[in-house]
Amino acid sequence: MVRTYIKRVQSAVASGDHEAANAALTSAIPVIDRMADKGIMHKNKAARHKSRLHSAVSALKAS
């Protein structure tokens, strides 16, 4: 489930659509946080994923 949301953000970034990438990121962050809270994913790994996805979306906006 987490990987699906991450892939949605990555594919939106790859397509160059900032609005779609931002919407996908907005829906992915709570899912990543939920998996970290349940212990399925380590909290540092969750933070790393969120940071990298956010950086990719922000870089898309700048370009």
* Residue-range domain boundaries for the chain: 2-62
> Quick check: 3 and 41 in contact, CB under 8 A?
no
**Tokens standing for 10?**
């990555």
Report which of 46, 55, 4, 60 is spatially closest to residue 27, judged by C-alpha positions: 4
pTM confidence score: 0.91
Q: pLDDT category, 6, cuts 50, 70, 90?
A: very high
Q: What is the pLDDT of residues 17-51, one digit of tens each?
A: 999 999 999 999 999 999 999 999 999 999 999 99
Report residue 29 CA to chain centroid gap. 6
Q: How many residues does the chain have?
A: 63
Helix and strand counts by DSSP (H, E) for the chain: 3, 0
Element (H, E) at 8: helix 2-15
